[in-house]
Structure 1
Amino acid sequence: MKKKYQKYDRIYKENAVKLSYEKNSIKESAEELGIRSSLICRWRKEYEKFGAGSFLGSGYDRIHPDNKKIFDLQKKSKESELRYEILKKASFCLHQGNLVIYNFIKENEDKYSILKMCEILEVGYGRYHRWKKNGISKKKQYIFLLKKDIVTIFFRFKRHYGRNKITDELHKLGYKICKEQVTIYMRKLGLKRVARRKFKITTNSCHNNCIAPNLLNREFKVNAPSKVWVSDITYIQTSRGFLYLTIIMDLYDRKIIGWSLSFSLFTRTTTLPAFEMASANREASKGLLFHSDRGVQYANKIFVAKLDSYKCIRSMSRKGSSIDNAVAESFFNTLKRELIHRKNTLISQKIMKEEIAEFIENWYNRKRIHSALNFKTIEQFNAANGL
């Protein structure tokens, strides 16, 4: 049978210490109280060291009242350092949901107090232990992984993808989810695609040059490459004036096959070099329909002669109808939304040229998925069609 030890409260211990000072010896006071002399010796040492801060029991800090302020400041400082240390180590998981936080706490149980980590990271102590004991439900695991993949897709495509394209990417990963659900999760995660901005029309159609009828007639679906090319020009503001971007797109796969950046709007710096690049990258077959707006760069005799030399058929939008060249306009909308309008300050012409080249050749023509291509990249679309 285990021996039972008697417990003495704080008041009893203080009175015993005071009595020991009044008697001739510790032994005499111990005999009067009916306790061991060693207890009184131990109590006296504690009382001499901590005074009124003695005999507070387990879980309490023993400190002399004269040093309490310094002790409290030191304690707060240590708690602040500990809080900073935990938050610094756990910063990567603070916005990734409780599951990631729970895993962090579990991995650091031998370093920090579980209660303290739960308090600092604002998760329930009881919930953590239930998770540790029972794990997480399959539904919660699914939602956690879904949210993680939505965030990954959103930032991988530079915040340009809305719910439709993100939904399509999730379908490729095996998720069965509708666009409305993606909208809800994006709203909860605070994900919002880069907003579109309007841009000015730069077409100069006030001339008496060679105008062609609208043969394309908004038939933007084409069943083979080099049947229809569309072209347009836009302006881009830099820190030192404007740049003018001319593009030529093949309607079949929406690839930018020719483009030119210039400081002026002359034909020799806009449409001619863009067409030369396009014809070098993709054969301009006989009977190719070349569609553009009524800008003077497309209607002057020099450019018309160039098209005639390749046996191209000319087509132009009706006056004041940008929808007739909607696909080319849509590209510029994408370019400005995904590259130009994201910048808070104007950049130099040199840097802008480099970034536009990177955007067209590496992003738009290779990596970006296109809704018109059934949410495939241009390379995936052409591979699927044997090109």
Structure 2
Amino acid sequence: MTEALFLEAAIKEEQLLEQGKRRLNVSGVLKILGVSRSGYLSWKKRLPSKREKRKRIIKERIIDIYKDSHQNYGAPKITECLRKEGEIIAEKTVGNYMRELGIKAQYVKPYTVTTINSDFSNELKNILEEQFNPQKPDAVWCSDITYIWTYEGFVYLTR
């Protein structure tokens, strides 16, 4: 969180410089944030913990698996892949990491058959014969059809 605050301060500093105003100094930022100078310096020198290193490695693997799946895999499948590689990790943790990375699985809507194929070749005749400019009004009419999903199934609407 502290890192995010300092990044925000750096962005504001750049905006001030563009406007021709004076730079922010570290002491002023630390005072605004309520952080001691020694705390800031120790945070800056601090090495990442084992937990942070593991988290970074797992996030990289999650991104690799996600890209290999063409952005289709979600937390359950990525967790399964990580476990096959020997990683001990919960699905909830993978989901949280994916949320932090801003990635999520693509939902593929299953294909639904909406029409019944019929052989209309014997019944229908082309009487328009590509003459799209009729000689008088109301000589040619056309229609379109759509379907609406209801709890009983599809209802077809034409107009």
Aligning the two structures, in what range does the TM-score lie when normalised by the shorter sequence?
0.3 to 0.5
**TM-score scaled to structure 1, two decimals?**
0.20
Larger of the two Rg values belongs to structure: 1
**TM-score scaled to structure 2, two decimals?**
0.44
Q: Give 1 or 2: higher helix fraction.
A: 1
